[in-house]
Amino acid sequence: MQNFLANNEWAKNSSFDHFWRHYAVCDEWRKQHFEAVRQAQSHTREEPEVVERLSRCGIREEEEQEVENQEWHKFQQKTKEHRQKFTVHSTNTQNHGEHRDAAAEYTARKENARELYGAAAERILARESLLEMRFEEAYWSNPQMWPNIPFRF
């Protein structure tokens, strides 16, 4: 966190103070939660009643977590395959052997846009292209991930 603040001057602005206070509360909750889970798991071998309570709360044994990790790995592999299959073509893609006919694609898009949008087709295609270029710039620059903890509890 301190490293992030040191490298990003904009984050030190006082207008973000509320966000950083909230972030600190969420981070503290996360740490306490993981500590509670760790302590609960260390006691599971001793008390069968605790094991049942933990299973109801969603805290699972290591074997179940390993199976879940395998499923997660399969999901990640499938996602990677889909991204490679449907990737946006740019200089960063690794599909070197694949050639596409950009002129034919553009003509098809233009005809489809004329059917859908009529006289405004050129303007809408230009806006779509602009949005796609901005997305590619942001996507390939590895944007900072936003916290996934809700802002309001």
What does the pLDDT look like over 68-94, one tens digit per residue?
778 888 888 888 888 787 665 444 444
**Least confident among 59-63, 99-103, 139-143:** 59-63
Residue-wise pLDDT tens digits, 39-69: 777 765 556 666 666 666 655 555 566 667 7
For the cut 80, the answer to whether the pLDDT of residue 96 exceeds it is no
Report the largest interatomic distance among the alpha carbons of the chain, rounded to a whole angstrom.
Answer: 74
How many angstroms separate the CA atoms of 113 and 108, rounded?
A: 9
**Least confident among 1-5, 36-40, 97-101, 105-109:** 97-101
For the cut 90, the answer to whether the pLDDT of residue 5 exceeds it is no
What's the pLDDT at 93? 46
How many angstroms separate the CA atoms of 60 and 55, rounded?
A: 6
pTM above the 0.85 mark? no
What's the pLDDT at 56? 62
Q: Does an H or E element contain 77, and which?
A: helix 62-85
For residues 68 and 123, which has the higher predicted lDDT (pLDDT)? 123
